Structures are given as C-alpha cells and as structure tokens.
Amino acid sequence: MSPIVKLLAQRIALSLLLLLLISIVIFAGTIVLPGDVAQSILGQSATPEALANLRAELGVNDPPVQRYFAWLFGAMQGDLGTALTSGQDIAQALSSRFWNTLFLAFWAAVVAVPLAIFLGLLAVRFKDRWPDKMISAVTLASISIPEFLIGYVLMYFIAVQLRWFPSVAMVNDSMSLFEKLNAIALPIAVLTLVVLAHMMRMTRAAILNVMQSAYIETAELKGLNAFQVIYRHAFPNAIAPIVNVVMLNLAYLVVGVVVIEVVFVYPGMGQYLVDHVSKRDVPVVQACGLIFAAVYIGLNMIADIVAILSNPRLRHPK
Amino acid sequence: MNRHMQYLASQAAAGKLSRRDFLGKAAALGFTAVSANLLLSTAAKAAGPQKGGTIRLGLQGGSTTDSLDPALVTNTVGLMVTRLWGETLVELADDGGIEGKLAESYEASADAKTWTFKLRSGVTYSNGQSVTADDVVKTMERHSGEDTKSGALGIMRGIKDVRADGDSVVFELDSPNADLPYLLADYHLIIQPNGGNDDPAAAIGTGPYIMKSADMGVRFVAEKNPNYWGDLGNADTVEIIVINDDTARVAALQSGQVDVIDRVPPRTAKLVDRAPNITVHSTSAAGHYVFIMHCNTAPFDNNDVRMALKYGINRQEMVDKILNGYGTVGNDTPINASYPMYTELEQRQFDPDKAMHHLKKAGHDGSILLRTSDNSFPGAPDASALFQQSLSSAGIQLDVKREPNDGYWSEVWNAKPFCTSYWGGRPTQDQMFTTAYLSTADWNDTRFNNEQFDQMLVAARGELDVAKRTQMYADMSTILRDEGGLICPMFNDFVEATTDNVDGFVEGIPGQVLMNGYAASKLWVKA
C-alpha cells in the first residue's frame, strides 16, 4: 500500500472513531442536564397530572445504556427519532434547517474565503507598510467585537437608517435566489467580519514563513516580481496551513452561528437547537450535537487530507 | 380653525398626512397632544377600517417546539395564531364583560350551577363542516379528560358534566360558579371539529383567517376566511414572524419589515416612541412582577417577617426604575383595577420604621436570602438589588442569589422559599385566587393556607349579587395584603408599538397582549 493511501485510510478511520466517542459524550451530557423535559414543556402552567401524563407519554424511564444503543443504531440509519415536544420526525424537521444553515455558511464562505486570502496576499506584498497595518487593524478590530454587537450596529445603519437590506433575514421556499441573498446580506456581512481576521492572518503568516526559504530567494534572484513570487512559489507551499484555517472557519460558519441566527431571526440549525435545549428536548439536542460534530470532524478531516495530498514528499516515497 | 384641524385629521386618517406631521401642525395651531390624538382617532374611526393588504407582526415568545394544538398554547405567538383560525364560545368584551362568539347567548340557573349556551346557527369550519353542539362537548371533554395535557385543565375542574341539547350546550357544575363564562373565554378552549380529537393541530376552526403556512417558532401566514360569519378581519393576509431578540424586534419595526410588535422593552420605549412613524401603546393589565415567600417556611412563617419585607420595599421606585413608568404600583395583592369587581384598598407605602418595628417584633436576626433570575421577569436581578437597598435603609440585610435562567421554573419557583416570579393575571378575581391562593391550589406558590380565605372564595363563587360579591373580594384582597406571602410591588403594562402603516389600535383592551390577541384581525392597513 502506498504511504498516501495508508495515511488517508488512517485519517478517515480516526475520524469515525472520534465521531463514535463524541456520540457517547453527547448522549451522556444530555442525560445529566438539570431539569426535566415534562416540566420544561409545560412551564409555569404545569399541573401534577399534566406532568405525570406527559412523562409517561415521553417514555423517559428506560435505562440509559439501552437508550444509547437504540439511538445510535437509529442515527446510523438516518433515523434521529422524534422530537419530544412536538412529536415531529427530527430528521425531517432538521433537513430544511440544515440546508438553511449551509446556505448561509456557503454564501458567507464565498465572500469571506477569497477576500481573506486576497487580503492576506496583499498584506504580505506590502509587509509592514500601511496597507498591511490597515488590513491587520481592521480585521483584528472586527474579530474583537462580539458578533451580536456587530450585528446590531450593521442592523441600525444599514437596515434602519439606510434601508438597503432587511434586518430580518427570513428566507422561505417561495423566494428566488436573489431575494434570499438580499435577505441574508447582513448576516453574511457579520459572519465575514467575524471570520476574516483569522483566515487573513494565517494566510499572511504561512506565506511569510515560506518566504524565508532558500528557493524564494532564488526566485527573487531570478528577477521575478513580488506578486509572481508570492503567487507562484510561496502560495502553493502554504496551502496546507491555509486550508486548515479555512476549514476551521467553515466549521465555525456552520456550527457557530447561533447568535447570528437569533439576532437576524434566521431559521437555521442554531435557533432550532437553542429552542430545544431550553425545553430539554433531548433527542433533538442529541441529533443537532451529532450533526455539528460530524460537520466539524468532516471539515477537519478534509483539511488534513488536503495537507497530506499537497505534501510532495509523500507523493514521491524514497 | 377647528374645521381646519378636522380636515387635517381626516387627511391623516386617510394616510395622506403622516401622524407626526399632523401632530406637529396641531401643536402649531395650539392643540394639546391629547386632544389632537383624540381628534385623530375619531377621524380614523370615522374613516372606518380599510380592507385588504397585509399586516405583518413581529412577536416575542414563539419557539420551534410549539404546536398548533390549542391545548398546548403557552405563549403570545400561540395565542395570536390561535385567534386567527379559531374561536371560543364566548370572549372578553372591550369593557371587561363577556360577549358571545360561537355562543349567541347564555343563561345560568338561579343557583349558578347549570349553564346553557345557545350556539350561533349556520357557522362553518374552514373545511366546510358545520359547527355542532357535539363538537363543543367533545372539545370540553378533550381539555378536561384525565389524560389531557391541556393548559386549561385547571379551570375545567369544577365542571361535572357537559352535554348537547339541540343547538345548545349545557354545563353542570360541582358547585355554583358565577364566573363560568370567563372560564370558557380561556384561549385554550378553541372549538374544533370533533373536539380536535382527530388532529388537534390541524388548525381547522371558525376564525376570521385560514392558516396557509405554519413554521413553528419562525413564521406563520394566514389568509382571510371568505366564509367567516362575523366582521372580524380587515387585512387580506396576516403574517406573523417570531422575533425573540428585543433589539432585533424593535429594529424590524423601525426598518418597516413589520407593522406591529409586542413587548417593547420599557427601558427604550420612550426612545422608540420618538422615532418617526412609530407609536408606542401602553395598556395596563393584570400581569404582575412579584417576590414570593413561602408562608410555611422559616423565617417567612412569621407574619411579622412578611410585614417587615412588605414595608421595606419601595414600590414607586420599582415602577419608575424597573418598568420605566410603564406600569402601576401594586399593593401586595394580585388584584388591580383591571379586574371587574375591584375595590381600591389603602395603598401600602414604603416605611423603613414600620419595617424595622415588625422585624424586631418577629425577633429575627441575620440576613434573608432571595433568589432571582432574569427569567422570572425582565429586570428581576435589578429589582432585587433595589429591594436590597431599600431594606438596608430599614436595617434589614437581604442576600440576593442569582440563579440560572435555565430551569428556573422547575428548580427555584414554587420550590425555594423566597424568589422573584411573574404572574400573568387572570380575567376574574375568582380565577386568580383559585389558581394561586386557595390552600389546595395547584400553584399555591406562596404556600398560603387560610381557612377563612378558602371559605370566602367558595362562597363568592356562587354569589350572584354583584355588590355582595365585590365586598367579599375586597375582604379577600385585604387578607392577602396583610397576611399573604406575596410582595407585589408593580403591575406591568403591555407595551406594544405600531407603525403609521396600520391603524385601529385601541389601548386599554382588557385580557391578553395586543388587544387581547385580536390586533391582527382588528387593525387595518392604511391605503
């Protein structure tokens, strides 16, 4: 077996093992949550009879280990169970939410990733001069402000004062792609500001690191101009760390947008998860946790695979 | 000049002049804001509701875990949505009385134990079926059955039997209850075909609108029901968007994405009102922000300790600082002027000397522990800090423990001896007292156990003489004020806002939020 295939197989197996371990953690974690699902569903208006009736109906009295395996086998077959609160099929209810979250993450990535890499390259080209310093200052400032505050500020100026884009990012199936993009313009802007600095600085650092290599000096001595040196010689060798940080930020765009979804009333996974956590709807919390974990592990795995494939030493074994 | 004002008002009512411009012109002509507003609303009513268009509401309190089943409605969004497609037998009228909905009329037997409701004839559900007395009986049975999860179970308890009698429905009660119509106005008790037993969440009802789409916790769309029997419903389409974040909700109103919002945060309400084209409406209501003590747990089992704490709270300061003036002072009873048989009692004032006196009499020393969380009512931790300060001027030490929002209602409220809480109020004194102050009440969250009070409550329930009954309720309120475990410093107003895009908002309608939940059907879009 060639070392590349072996490494890849190992990496994928590791991911699956990790996912299995996480499923145990998720399941155990949701069991020890304080409070009681029946009480949470009925809230302040719970009568003892109603509580007892609901508990019996929800079947929350089986032993945990039995419930874990039933849940795991179901999840492997795509059956995530039914929500305790509404009785809906979770996989079905989640699918439109998940697509909405991916939709937002996709368009945020389409804006943020090229922009970050471009700004990173620009910063390297003008290293320690004003464009570099300005890019760093602006992106660092935007990553330091809490995202809800950026959201509110953009909402106030762009939606309330200027009325360019709506403040409520409500999307539904009857909208055209253009209408949807118009609706999510503000969340995209906030997400871009939040993830930009991380990716930009990683790009800058990785390329600067490569720039100190001997072959870059050679390229410079050959008389190539600065952009060509960066673009043709430095960038390809910096791909692995850049892809790594891009994947990390993509994962954040999918699993970390809870606050943004709440502020902009976007019907994605985050809002769905928050509502069900507060109602102690354990199966939904478990399903969301599992999906989020899978996205995180999956994207990290892709980053590692890209790193492996872009490493020429592995492609030419001695 | 008056004629010119009337002309301007009619222009404003017709939407040809913005409300703000009108008020500016009125002020220039020497009219006070109050008289100008009055003129404007008269002109708007004269112009009459306009039909058509879309009304969009941005509401707080919906969740993806909600259901369309009226039995499971627990929040504002559920209430508003249910009001669109469904109706109860009777409903609270604008003057606080009862008016018929699906029941055309009703009468009680002399002993108030048997009630007969005559159904309106020729009313059909949105699926074309006719409403029958049998549906009403089945509906009541679904909400009162032993295995029900209905939020109305508590109020259905006293009903022994419900039966159909031609086009009437007869209720037999265990004991006399003069308030039965108020109980049946409860928003859970929507009349559904076959009582909703087939598919409770199908949203098939007799309401002015028909649900077109319902995405729980996100968005609801309803269209005018062409076969509706009454005259409710002005807009062709109603859209409800759930916006739980306060800032986002206000921004959605300001940016014109919605026409109506509920729960304007009192802190910013005055600022919002100053924005062009937006009007903030305030309606005093029965909801109250409270501190509750368990009357059977030390040190609160000593009435002097309870009195010390009651004298040690500065009610006006609470209304000014926590509600920003959008509310009224409380008097340590759950009853205020929004109840039909209200009697004004002498207002208890902040009095550090009396507080100290009672505490000394009780012989209590050391601090008292209060638990709180923002979940109990907005600003509860701040209110607790204010309470701490006013008590310290009476020499009483209060320790405030902040509890997590999560699980507050199951772990702290009704479990710990002293905590902050919220009551939404009920339409009648009987219901409020029965829910929380009867010894055997499900939610006796102050552990109040008073035989005299219990007896008076049962007696008042069967009393048809209003004067006598009013006096009994006043006496019960006095008992609660002087002996109860409730410290009620303030009643919160419903603070809501509309844009100039819509008209017809009436402030002061009793009951629930947003014109008792009818804002969507009663407001109209200006042409």
Confidence of residue B85 (pLDDT cuts 50, 70, 90): very high
- pLDDT beyond 80 at B108: yes
As a whole number of angstroms, the distance between CA B372 and CA A44 comes to 15
pLDDT at residue A40, as a whole number: 65
pLDDT tens digits along A87-141: 778 888 888 889 999 999 999 999 999 999 899 988 988 888 999 999 989 888 8
Positions of E strands within B120-232: 159-165, 168-173, 209-215, 219-224
Amino acid making up residue A53: N
- Please give the single-letter amino acid code of residue B114: T
- The predicted-structure confidence for A190-224, as pLDDT tens digits, reads as follows 999 988 888 898 888 888 888 888 888 888 888 88
B64 close to A275: Cβ distance less than 8 angstroms: yes
Instruction: Record the tokens describing residue B13, joined without a space.
Output: 């009512």
The model's pLDDT over A255-300, given as tens digits with 9 standing for 90+, comes to 878 888 888 989 888 888 888 887 777 788 888 888 889 988 999 8
Chain A nearest C-alpha distance from B148 (Å)? 7
Per-residue pLDDT band at B424 (split at 50, 70, 90): confident
Question: What pLDDT was estimated at residue A254?
Answer: 85
Radius of gyration of chain A (CA): 24
Q: Which of the two residues, B454 and B66, has the higher pLDDT score?
A: B454
Q: Rounded distance, CA B82 to CA B187, Å?
A: 8
Residue B497 pLDDT exceeds 80: yes
pLDDT digits (tens, 9 = 90+) for B336-366: 988 888 999 999 999 999 999 999 998 888 8
Helix, strand, coil shares, percent, chain A, to 5: 80, 0, 20
Peptide bond into A131 cis (omega under 30): no
How confident is the model over B410-426, as a mean pLDDT? Answer: 89
What are the DSSP calls for B405-431, one per residue? Answer: STTHHHHTTTTSSEEEEEE---SSHHH
pLDDT score at A225: 84
Residue that the structure tokens 């695979």 belong to: A305
Out of B64, B154, B409, closest to residue A276 by CB: B64
Whether residue B65 and residue A279 make contact (CB cut-off 8 A), yes or no, is: yes
Contacts of B413 (CB under 8 A, 6+ apart): A44, B292, B376, B419, B421, B445
pLDDT greater at residue A17 or residue B147 = A17
pLDDT of residue A66: 77
The C-alpha atoms of residue B510 and residue B342 are separated, in whole angstroms, by 14
Chain A, 168 to 227: residues with Cβ < 8 Å from chain B are 168, 170, 172
Percent of chain B with pLDDT over 70: 94
Q: How many CB pairs under 8 A join A and B?
A: 118
Structure tokens given for B147:
């295995």
Beta strands per DSSP E along B28-68:
54-59
Letter for the amino acid at B284?
A: S
Any B CB within 8 A of A49 CB: yes
pLDDT of residue B6: 72
> Chain A within 8 Å of B241 (Cβ-Cβ)?
yes
CA B228 to chain centre: 26
Q: Write the pLDDT tens digit of every residue in B183-216.
A: 899 899 999 999 889 989 999 999 999 999 998 8
pLDDT for A318 equals 59
Band of pLDDT at residue B220, cut at 50, 70 and 90: very high
A159-166: average pLDDT: 90
Q: Which residue has the higher pLDDT, B306 or A210?
A: B306
DSSP 8-state secondary structure symbol assigned to residue B130: B
Contact between A276 and B254 using a beta-carbon 8 Å cutoff: no
Residue B63 near chain A (CB below 8 Å) = yes
Name B99's bridge partners. Answer: B91
Q: Which of B56, B60, B64 is the best substitution to test chain A (most A C-beta atoms within 10 A)?
A: B64
Whose CA is closest to A203, among A225, A231, A184?
Answer: A231
Q: A87-97 pLDDT, tens per residue?
A: 778 888 888 88
List of chain A residues whose C-beta atoms are within 8 Å of the C-beta of residue B426:
none
Q: Is the pLDDT of residue A68 over 70?
A: yes
Model confidence pLDDT, tens digit, residues B498-520: 999 999 998 888 888 899 999 99
Dihedral sign (CA A67, A69, A72, A76)? negative
Q: What is the ipTM of this complex?
A: 0.80
Check CB contact of B154 with chain A, cutoff 8 Å.
yes
pLDDT of residue B17: 67
Tell me the per-residue pLDDT of B50-76, one tens digit each, with 9 for 90 and over: 888 999 999 998 888 888 999 988 888
C-beta separation of B335 from B322 below 8 A:
no
Those residues whose C-beta lies under 8 Å from the C-beta of residue B283, and which sit 6 or more positions away, are B493, B494, B496, B507, B508, B509
Q: Is the pLDDT of residue A57 over 70?
A: no
Residue B278: predicted pLDDT:
93
Question: Chain A: residue nearest B421 by CA?
Answer: A44
Q: Which amino acid type is present at position B259?
A: D
Query: In angstroms, what separates the C-alpha of B69 from chain A's closest C-alpha?
Result: 10
Q: How does pLDDT run across B272-288, given as a tens digit for each residue? A: 999 888 999 999 889 99
* Cα–Cα distance for residue pair A290/A286, rounded to 1 Å: 6
pLDDT of residue B318: 94
Burial of A238: CB neighbours in 10 Å, binned 0-12, 13-18, 19+: buried
Res A59: pLDDT? 61
* Backbone angles phi and psi of A72, in degrees to 5: -65, -45
The model's confidence at residue B441, banded by pLDDT at 50, 70 and 90, is confident
B50 DSSP 8-state letter: P
Q: From CA B137, how far away is CA B191, in angstroms rounded? A: 9
Cβ contact, residue pair B241, A170, below 8 Å: yes
Task: Examine the pLDDT at B95 and tell me if it is beyond 90.
Answer: no
Q: What is the pLDDT of residue B58?
A: 95
**pLDDT classification of A187: cutoffs 50, 70, 90:** very high
Measured CA to CA, the distance from residue B412 to residue A39 in angstroms comes to 12
Say what the pLDDT of residue B189 is.
93
Mean pLDDT, residues B110-124: 91
Q: Which DSSP symbol is given to A45?
A: G
Question: Using the beta-carbon criterion (under 8 Å), do A53 and B149 form an inter-chain contact?
Answer: yes
Which DSSP string do the residues of A72-130 spell out, in sequence order?
A: HHHHHTT---B-TTT--BHHHHHHHHHHHHHHHHHHHHHHHHHHHHHHHHHHHHTTTSH
**In chain B, residues 249-288 whose CB comes closer than 8 Å to chain A:** 251-252, 254-258
Q: Do the Cβ atoms of B192 and B127 come closer than 8 Å? A: no
Which of B57, B59, B63, B65 to probe by mutation at the A interface, max A CB count within 10 Å?
Answer: B65
pLDDT class of B451 with cuts at 50, 70, 90: very high
Helix, strand, coil proportions of chain B in percent (round to 5)?
35, 20, 45
- Please, are residues B399 and B411 in contact by the beta-carbon 8 Å criterion? no
CB contact under 8 A, B67 and A160: no
User: What is the average pLDDT score of chain B?
Assistant: 89
**Interface mutation target, options A275, A276, A285, A288, chain B, most CBs of B under 10 Å:** A275
